Structure 1
Amino acid sequence: MRKRLAHIDYFILIPYLVLLGIGIVMVYSASSDIMAAAGKSPTAYLNRQTIFVIGGLFAAALGFILPLRLFASGRFVRLAVGVTMAMLFGLLVMGYFRPDLKVNGAMAWFDVGFFNVQPVEIAKLVLVLYLARILSRREEKLTRFHEAVRQIIAPMIVAGLMAMFVLLEPDTGGMAILLFLTLLMIAASGIKWSYGALIMGGVVGFSIGGLQIMRSIDLPWLKQSYQIKRLLAFFHPFKLENSVGRQLVNSYYAISNGGWFGVGIGNSIQKKGYLPEPYTDFIMSVITEELGIIGAIVVLGILFFLIGRIVLVGIRAQSAYRSLVCYGIGAWLFVQTLFNVGGMSGLLPITGVTLPFISYGGSSMLMLSAAIGLAMNVSCVEQVERERQQERGRTSAQAK
């Protein structure tokens, strides 16, 4: 334990802790006025987020302390994938028999009392661990096209099933993250870029074909889907300002009102009932309004520094498995940040995904924190191995 603590990667730990602190402050700022107006405690979400952060710190500690061989073991990965699939399928069953539990037409979580468990957040971490194990064991077979296709069929099927279950909730943001995560990890696994491009082209073609088939079938949930309305709002926000375009238009107003330096923490106008749930999907809008574009750039800079450091650890890793774990975590953080910021700025359709470590939410906080612990674990193991190699080198040199 002492040796592990001596090899903590502070370039991962410090940005992570700073983001947690920013998240606590901004969740309170974004939620306090709404809660007070509803006659509830202004600190309700602050208290919950603080508990989620404490839980996240424990999850990060576990990810750091537990041996990597546990996460790489076939038994653990099979169990994790099985439990995750069961949870995702269970949501569909619950949504079918209890449609009254859906929110905005989606059944995306289990209510366990204190907070909601979102299986899609668990699926993201499980998929990273599954793909890292499978692809690292087949690395040498990914240089020949027919072998590359054959070796990634199983990972694509597992990822495809997870994505399909998530899409049927429906949660298009979660589905997109799972698919992009899969494609990025396959691209980083050692497969030739030409093979990867062909395979990705096939996946895109299959997806487009699937969407065309779904459009031709009479699916009421697809026609009335909240996600479809969000897509319309992306194309015509001001025409739909009084309905589904309200979120995006008010996000624009928040960005405009904030200017370069913001109106000050706690002084946002758009959080006061104009932005629905400003402490989750649109917390970056509140950050931009209160801290300005400069403040938003600083927050995103910390996030991207963290992502870059995790990817760098993966590049330097001497083990294919450890590299892929870091690439997967980095890809997850990057894609989720891209979707969140792209949605609030109108560059991408709104997907409803959270901003890592900053948005309110328990499941996301726990899983992302566990992923940070794993990244620090990889960094620690790599440092220890390099020191051992250097020691052996010195010993052999002295022997000569």
Structure 2
Amino acid sequence: MWKKLHYLDWKIFVPYVILTILGIVMVYSSSSYILLINGFNPTTYGVRQAFFVAFSFLFIGIPCFAVKLSIFKNKKVVKWLLLVSIAMLGFLLVLKFTKGSAAAVNGAVGWINLGPINLQPLEIAKLSLVFYLAFVLDKRDGKLVKGRFLENLIHPMIITGFLMVLVLMEPDFGGMSILFMIAFVMMMVSGIPTKLALRSLLGLLLFVVVVFSLIVIWNPKFIQDSYQFQRLLAFLHPFKLEKGSGAQLVNSYYAIHNGGLFGTGLGNSMQKKGYLPEPYTDFILSITAEELGVIVTIIILFLLFWMMWWIMDVGVKAKSQYNALLCYGITTIIFTQTFFNVGALLGLLPITGVTLPFISYGGSSIMVLTACVGIVLNVSATEKRLQQKQEGVE
């Protein structure tokens, strides 16, 4: 552990610390008014987020950095993580079909209530899928040649597809898309020819566009009242539906416009006062833009992309295929969540309920993301030590 600290990658660790601190501040600011008018302590969510960050750092991040990477490559560990993820996602479906709408939040059943905290199985499933694909694709290194793609990828494709179906049935389109992107990126960098990967992606995008267009044109009655369909309509016509499903997006625009370059000041947001529901989760960046301004918002996004860049750099330079795949998978988690969250609040993508990494409120999210950072720092330190040993420094 102490020897590894000499190899700590500050280019990744420092942005993580800054982002989590900003997250605590903005969770407190964006949630305090709603808590206060509902008779609760205005610091509740801010204190909880601080606890989640501290707990994650001490009991998840540090162990993930300190242990030997071979533990994550252990077949039994990978298998059990995957089975636990499948079991928890299956349990959510049981809750959905036994309790019906009573178990749903915003049209989806995505959390398991454990008393003081709500556990989100999707977050664990993301990291489990990264471990599983890194393990499987590393074993198939050199075997992904023409004529043997299906033979070598059928098993991971089935497992990924099964996880995606479980998440889709919640229903959680954002979560399903993140799982797809993890699998797509990791398979693409594992040796599949670029042309084949690009054709597959273009084919999928074309399929999504066609289905999307057909649903909008058809406008079937049985899904018109569904929460997800209303979000789709709000994406297409936000101002026409300003008093209904388009309210979130319109108020997100107002928040960003009100903030300008330098913001109205911490705590001075108007949109968090009942206009943006749960402003400390999906739309926390809109509140940040309103209170701290567009410049600070750009700095937050810069820090996220800076972190992603250097995680990718660790993967590119890794001698181990397995270590490289871990880095690519973790980068995909952070990038896809950032892309979906920012795209939704700007009206470039439908609202999917995807939170902003390290900033939005959520125990499950910050725990898994901290584990991701710990693992990447472990990979970076391990690769640096191996390189020095090979050069005869140690």
Aligned to 2:140: 138
Give the Cα–Cα distance (whole angstroms) in 2 for the partners of residues 248 and 235 of structure 1: 11
**Is the Cα–Cα contact under 8 Å of residues 224 and 230 in structure 2 kept in the other structure?**
no
Task: Letter of the 2:33 partner, please give it.
Answer: D
Give the Cα–Cα distance (whole angstroms) in 1 for the partners of residues 177 and 369 of structure 2: 17
Aligned to 1:361: 362
Give the Cα–Cα distance (whole angstroms) in 2 for the partners of residues 121 and 303 of structure 1: 18
Deviations 1:54-86 (A, max 9, x none): 122121112111211111111111111111111
Alignment of 1:1-400 (within 5 A): 1-57=1-57, 58-99=59-100, 100-142=102-144, 144-200=145-201, 222-391=223-392
Report the identity percentage. 47
> TM-score by structure 1 length?
0.93
Deviation at 1:212, TM superposition (A): 10
Give the Cα–Cα distance (whole angstroms) in 2 for the partners of residues 364 and 50 of structure 1: 13
Task: Letter of the 1:3 partner, please give it.
Answer: K
Deviations 1:311-343 (A, max 9, x none): 000000001000010011011100100000110
Seen in structure 2, the aligned counterparts of structure 1 residues 281 and 390 have a Cα distance that, compared at 3 Å, is: same
SS at match of 1:391: coil
Deviation at 1:116, TM superposition (A): 0.6
Deviations 1:132-151 (A, max 9, x none): 11111112012x23212321
Task: Letter of the 2:10 partner, please give it.
Answer: Y
Aligned to 1:398: none
Give the Cα–Cα distance (whole angstroms) in 1 for the partners of residues 68 and 107 of structure 2: 41
Aligned residues: 390
SS at match of 1:72: coil
Task: Letter of the 2:114 partner, please give it.
Answer: V
**Is the Cα–Cα contact under 8 Å of residues 286 and 345 in structure 2 kept in the other structure?**
yes
Task: Letter of the 1:19 partner, please give it.
Answer: L
SS at match of 2:24: helix
**Is the Cα–Cα contact under 8 Å of residues 149 and 199 in structure 1 kept in the other structure?**
no
Deviations 1:317-376 (A, max 9, x none): 001000010011011100100000110111111110110011000100101110110000
Aligned to 1:397: none
Give the Cα–Cα distance (whole angstroms) in 1 for the partners of residues 300 and 361 of structure 2: 16
Seen in structure 2, the aligned counterparts of structure 1 residues 139 and 214 have a Cα distance that, compared at 3 Å, is: farther
**Is the Cα–Cα contact under 8 Å of residues 145 and 195 in structure 1 kept in the other structure?**
no
Choose 164-173 or 65-74, whichever is displaced more: 65-74
Choose 206-215 or 375-384, whichever is displaced more: 206-215
Task: Letter of the 2:92 partner, please give it.
Answer: L
Deviation at 1:166, TM superposition (A): 0.5
**Is the Cα–Cα contact under 8 Å of residues 20 and 357 in structure 1 kept in the other structure?**
yes
Gaps of 5+ in 2: none
Deviation at 1:105, TM superposition (A): 2.4
Deviations 1:172-199 (A, max 9, x none): 1111111111111111112111222344
Seen in structure 2, the aligned counterparts of structure 1 residues 342 and 119 have a Cα distance that, compared at 3 Å, is: same
Q: Which ranges of 4 or more aligned residues in structure 1 deviate by more than 3 Å?
A: 198-216
Give the Cα–Cα distance (whole angstroms) in 2 for the partners of residues 344 and 208 of structure 1: 21
**Is the Cα–Cα contact under 8 Å of residues 186 and 328 in structure 2 kept in the other structure?**
yes
**Is the Cα–Cα contact under 8 Å of residues 111 and 117 in structure 1 kept in the other structure?**
yes
